[in-house]
Amino acid sequence: MFTTAVDPEVMKGVLPENFPADKLSQPKYKMIVEHNVFITMRDGVKVACDIYRPDSDEKFPALYATTAYQKNLQHLPVVPTFHMVEVNKIDWFVERGYVYVVQDMRGTGDSDGDFGFFSLQEQLDFYDCIEWIALQPWCTGKVGMIGESLLSWAQWLAAQHQPPHLCTIIPFDGGADIYRDVAYHGGVMSIGFPSVWYNWEVRAHYHMGYGPVRGKHNSKPNQGKFDFAWECINHQTFDDFWKLRRSDIKKIKVPVYSIGEWHKSGLHLRGNLRGYEELETPKKLMVCQGETDGDEMAVFNTPEMRLLMLRWYDHWLKDNDTGMMEEPEVCLYIRGKDEFRFEEKWPLPRTSYTNYYLSGQKSGAVDSLNDGKLLPEPQKSGPASVTYSYPQKNWTNFGGPGSALIEHGMVYPYREILTFTTDPFEKETEVCGNITLTLFASSKIEFPEYKETKFLCRLWDQFPDAMQDPEYPLKAMLMTQGRLKSCYAFDKDEELTRPYRPYYTHETPREIEEGKIYKYEIEILGTSCYFKKGHRLRLEVANYDSNALDHGGHYYGLAVGKDTIYFDGEHASFLTLPITYVKE
């Protein structure tokens, strides 16, 4: 559809061998549509929905989607330009015996009330809508939820309230913790998503999408007044504003199929992985392929993904057991091998967590500030530390590529930041799982007065030296990313922390002392990559990132200073990789 991400030869891998397509619900109905059916919420506000149902007097299970994008826009072309189209192919499910209900969240589209970006009242609206749907004469009383991205946030949040008639959810590419997954990555504010996305994709369409040229004005002049970027700026810590908007996974009692995308490490992936790990209900996990924004939309709308979701809905909403729950629980796309593989659990039980140590030795592989090396053992010789200053002279702000450089129209992510690169792999090696970077570092802060620093990290699969051309940027595939702001690095939530994933409370920021060496454990989001012989793994570390590479980039602030990263003795910094295969 958009990229090679939806190559049929790749997509067929999401379906297990002997997939029982002939045993699933078959197309046999035409569709009846009821527009702007209003449902009264418990506080009296009326929300609008469109109901798509089979042309039959039978009763059917229902699929419920709730959106802030306006239900009236869900029939725009399914292309990345219109990423707000996140409901999949409605008539496809209706033809197979499902009622499909699409609702405008309060304060959006045709609904009354005020939008509060997943406020408690909106979450209760989800509950009330599900229960209303279940009691309609065309419904069997069984309701599932459907939708991608923002529509998946709603699924995580609705399910924690345990509506009695909600039977299952499939959060596709959806975060479960808006503070950590969306707004503040490691405590560092995301710029692109809370500001650009919300203002362009949500607020602007309420008014700029309707104008004299189209012959229609928005009759609700105050619609869209909720200012997400302003709320983010005024809620920097994980306070009650954010706690309300984090799904309590332990409260979810319905079966969940969590489906994520490896390339969404800057947004949703963390929610899909953490959600699966913490669920105590029947569950499955799939993580799909993709390279760039829009690939997730393409995968979501493939015939193969629809068949997979139909099988899940048939199982939990129609009692059509085709053996799905007897099959492996996890399906992962393995980058580098470019194929899907079924596994029993995530993290993979055979994972060998292996340290690679940062060093002052030269890798000879990257034209960066330091060209450091990653070693399988702590270095025995070489500089004991590396110091770099920020901002670097060519870093730009929101209007440019950030810490990356653009030369002759090409993006160089690594020239003015720190890098640490392995030697070429001598054996084919698979990395698949959650990753942690442990840094020993000290800082000298020249400005501002509040003493803090931050670390923004990227991991790359760097292609063999023979494939590189000195006239062009290094050929490599971005694997995953991680971030941490120093002021939040001292207080962990022990219940949610795992050996492979630090989980910080982000409630009480603390200054650091200049010159003091601190140990920072940085969560780098899970990934999969099969490193072929001759490939290298490259770690990038800086005080700043790039809006060209990091889903819109992060707030740099007014930071002027120096960070020193240490390699020797008691302060050997290291990257912990989940090794799942080494070819003998």
Work out the number of other CB atoms within 10 angstroms of the CB of residue 547: 21
> Using 50, 70 and 90 to split pLDDT, how confident is the model at 244?
very high
HEC readout, 143-189: EEECCECHHHHHHHHHHHCCCCCEEEECCECCCCEHHHHHHEECCEE
Average pLDDT of span 214-220: 63
**pLDDT at residue number 63:** 98
Average pLDDT of span 393-399: 87
Instruction: Name residue 73's amino acid.
Output: L
Over the Cα atoms of the chain, what is R_g? 24
In the Cβ-directed half-sphere of 183, how many Cα atoms lie within 13 Å? Answer: 25
**Is the bond preceding 347 in cis, omega lying within 30 degrees of 0?**
yes
pLDDT higher at 195 or 574: 574
Lowest mean pLDDT among 207-211, 261-265, 404-408, 431-435: 207-211
Q: Is the pLDDT of residue 212 over 60?
A: no
User: Whole-angstrom Cα distance, residue 73 to residue 69?
Assistant: 7
Average pLDDT of span 353-361: 97
In the Cβ-directed half-sphere of 37, how many Cα atoms lie within 13 Å? Answer: 15
Please report, for the chain, how many H helices and E strands are present, in that order. 10, 25
**pLDDT at residue number 211:** 55
> Using 50, 70 and 90 to split pLDDT, how confident is the model at 214?
very low
C-beta separation of 435 from 385 below 8 A: no
pLDDT higher at 98 or 193: 98
User: Residue holding tokens 């799905």?
Assistant: 324
User: Whole-angstrom Cα distance, residue 321 to residue 306?
Assistant: 17
**pLDDT at residue number 217:** 62
Give the pairing of strands 574-582 and 352-362.
antiparallel
User: Whole-angstrom Cα distance, residue 83 to residue 449?
Assistant: 41
**pLDDT at residue number 314:** 98
DSSP string for residues in 350-365: T-EEEEEEEEEEE-SS
**pLDDT at residue number 1:** 44
Report the candidate in 364, 524, 516 with the shortest Cα–Cα distance to residue 459.
524
User: Whole-angstrom Cα distance, residue 167 to residue 319?
Assistant: 11
User: Whole-angstrom Cα distance, residue 349 to residue 413?
Assistant: 34
Instruction: Express each pLDDT in 261-305 by its tens digit.
Output: 999 998 899 999 999 999 999 999 999 998 888 899 999 999 999
3-state secondary structure of 394: coil
Instruction: Express each pLDDT in 497-519 by its tens digit.
Output: 998 999 999 999 999 999 999 99
Average pLDDT of span 194-210: 86
Q: Using a pLDDT cut of 90, give the percent of the chain over it.
A: 87
**pLDDT at residue number 80:** 87
Full-model pTM = 0.96
Q: Is the pLDDT of residue 2 over 60?
A: no
C-alpha angle with apex 523: 517 to 529, nearest 5 degrees? 125
**pLDDT at residue number 216:** 57
C-beta separation of 441 from 358 below 8 A: no
For residue 414, what are its two tokens?
């690594």
**pLDDT at residue number 550:** 83
Mean pLDDT of the residues in the chain: 94
Instruction: Express each pLDDT in 53-111 by its tens digit.
Output: 999 999 999 999 999 999 999 989 998 889 889 999 999 999 999 999 999 999 999 99
Average pLDDT of span 443-470: 96
**pLDDT at residue number 435:** 97
Instruction: Express each pLDDT in 525-553 by its tens digit.
Output: 999 999 999 999 999 999 999 988 887 78
Give the pairing of strands 518-531 and 188-189.
unpaired
pLDDT higher at 149 or 83: 149
> Using 50, 70 and 90 to split pLDDT, how confident is the model at 356?
very high
